[in-house]
Copies of this chain bind each other. A is one copy, B any other.
């Protein structure tokens, strides 16, 4: 049975996967038909295991680390959410992006949908 604890553990694994540059771990958290909308309102939806594998393969190379901004939140359904900061370097500059991810889970504890909320104003230099 899906529990809040299982969902929060998967979200923490998501943070850990980035911090150990383990794209296999990241990909393993998702169901075969999962979708990723990152950023929400952007043009692209990443769909399915192959696309997700490519997405995180690239992402772990770009990102230096993730840091939770607050404890992961659960819900009374199959959803959990977390606020975190992405630290990366681009063109020799240190960049920080403030993000909130909302994840939907299936009964086996796999992520079926990920939505990443961040906009142009959530990126700061330095």
Chain A residues close to B by CB (< 8 Å): 4-5, 8, 39-42, 69-71, 73-83, 85, 98-100, 102, 117-122
Q: A74-B117, A76-B120, A80-B119 are in contact. List 17 more A-B contacts (CB 8 A).
A: A5-B121, A8-B121, A42-B77, A69-B83, A70-B70, A71-B98, A73-B99, A73-B100, A73-B117, A73-B118, A74-B118, A76-B119, A80-B117, A82-B100, A83-B83, A83-B100, A102-B117
Q: Is the CB of B41 within 8 A of A75?
A: yes
A98 to B75, CA, bound (A): 11
By a CB distance below 8 angstroms, the chain B residues around A100 are 73, 81-83, 100, 102
Question: Closest B-chain residue to A79, C-beta based?
Answer: B40
By a CB distance below 8 angstroms, the chain B residues around A102 are 81, 100, 102, 117
By a CB distance below 8 angstroms, the chain B residues around A83 are 69-70, 73, 81-83, 100
A84 to B25, CA, bound (A): 29
Question: Closest B-chain residue to A100, C-beta based?
Answer: B81
Dominant secondary structure at the A interface? mixed
A41 to B3, CA, bound (A): 13
